[in-house]
Amino acid sequence: MNSKELFEESKKFIPGGVNSPVRAFKGVGGTPFFVKSASGCNLISCDGEKFTDFVCSWGPAIFGHSHPRIKAAIARALENGTSFGAPCELELEMAKLINGLIPCAEMVRMTNSGTEAAMSAVRLARGFTKRDLIVKFAGCYHGHADSLLVKAGSGAATFGNPDSAGVPADFAKLTRVLPFNDFDAAEECFSQEGERIAAVILEAFPANAGLILPKENFLKKLRELCSKHGAVLIFDEVITGFRLGLGGAQKLAGVIPDLCVLGKIIGGGLPVGAFAGRREIMERLSPVGPVYQAGTLSGNPLAMAAGAEALKMIIELDPYAELKRKSDFITSALRQAAKERGVALQVPQAESLFSIFFNENPVENFEGALKSSTALYAKHFKYCLERGVYIAPSAFEVSFMSLAHDGASLERAAEVMASSIKNL
């Protein structure tokens, strides 16, 4: 079957025909293509079309798809089984790697997804502080757990419904939502309710509402505010962990949280999540502490093997300068095309992450992101897709660079993206 036929058939058995909403292309229009295979920087659809991929499985494919070293690591682990329900040595190897590379990590607990990890980190913060309130920032997405799916970015924003149905009002009452980059609002919130606030959770570089860059000293001031009031500072680094650098956003920004949430790259392309942080907090987890958290497939040997190999490759290859150079090439082409055409376009970039906003002014928060023209983004997306370049199928997501994007692919992609802007 071709993609259209597969999609129509899938809608009979899967809500919306997809297992994650953004895949449905509702934010950009058209029918999603179904992937038959992926290799390097390319996707091959069931229709036989080839796409240069800047979604990269939403971040994990930092070395490209189907990397032989990662596939070999999975194959070796597979020889011993798929799941044990008991500890295995690969879990220890992964824990040592994360604890040695992430600045805040003294201990780590593996999970199966970023959502699960963020939910568990929040529960741990509440158990550690014996407080109830959580502070988050509008547009920061921390998975789809009830207490965090309030004014979130990602797919919720794509469908114009930042607050999900099914979230009890009483859950939302325990979450305070502030504008990103507004330290005065955070200070005011703590002045009124500081003794009740268990944690502040945020993406240090929000990348689920497009890419929003933190203002100078914003993160540092949050760190000081949390320390002053005894609240746990949590960085959600599901996207930025090992994507912005070896130590993630926290090392890049020079601000160390109490806990952080990880995912994507640490699974080497397989399902994974983790949360890590200060020993005195992490030791409140069961079985040594009173905060319960568990998972049947947590520390799955296949995911641990793939993720450990990915981290070893990062240490060995130090890919970040090359990834940034490649990203600079694309973002420069977009900015130049917008300048020549007179299109109001913002192209925020953080290392190998980038996005575009059809805005007059730089985007500093979720409100600014929502002012970006989704209609123009949909036209840009369609133009690129028709010419074999796959970017995020949502105006409120980011694109990713990989080491597998070679010169010819980048030149062709830059040409297509720039042409799209000039033809708007």
In tens digits, what is the pLDDT along the chain, a chain of 424 residues?
A: 999 999 999 999 999 999 998 998 988 999 999 999 999 999 999 999 999 999 999 999 999 999 999 999 999 999 999 999 999 999 999 999 999 999 999 999 999 999 999 999 999 999 999 999 999 999 999 987 766 766 555 554 444 444 667 777 777 788 999 999 999 999 999 999 999 999 999 999 999 999 999 999 999 999 999 999 999 999 999 999 999 999 999 999 999 999 999 999 999 999 999 999 999 999 999 999 999 999 999 999 999 999 999 999 999 999 999 999 999 999 999 999 999 999 999 999 999 999 999 999 999 999 999 999 999 999 999 999 999 999 999 999 999 999 999 999 999 999 999 999 999 8
Q: Which domains does the chain have, with CATH numbers?
A: 88-316 (3.40.640.10)
Tokens of 122: 């929040």
Kind and range of the H or E run holding 326: helix 320-341
pLDDT, residue 148, reads 74
Give yes or no for a contact between 162 and 140, defined as CB atoms under 8 angstroms apart: no
Angle at 237 between CA 236 and CA 242, to 5 degrees: 175
Count of positions (residues) in the chain: 424
Q: Which active-site residues does the annotation give?
A: 141, 236, 264
pLDDT, residue 157, reads 47
- Burial (Cβ within 10 Å: 0-12, 13-18, ≥19) of residue 289: middle
Backbone dihedral region for residue 177 (phi beyond 0: left; psi -120 to 50: alpha; all else: beta): beta
Half-sphere exposure of 360 (CA within 13 A, CB side): 0
pLDDT, residue 69, reads 98
pLDDT, residue 171, reads 73
Q: Which residues make Cβ contacts (< 8 Å) with residue 75, sequence separation at least 6?
A: none
Q: Which residues make Cβ contacts (< 8 Å) with residue 222, sequence separation at least 6?
A: 183, 186, 200, 202, 233, 255
pLDDT, residue 152, reads 52
Give the 3-state secondary structure percentages of the chain, helix then strand then coil, rounded to 5: 45, 15, 40
DSSP of 189-257, one letter per residue? HHHHHGGGEEEEEE-SS--SSS--PPPTTHHHHHHHHHHHHTPEEEEEETTTTTTSSTTHHHHHHT---
In angstroms, what CA-CA distances link 391 with 159, 190, 264, 414?
18, 39, 18, 12
What CA–CA distance (Å, rounded) separates 345 from 385? 19
**Bridge partner list, 346:** 357
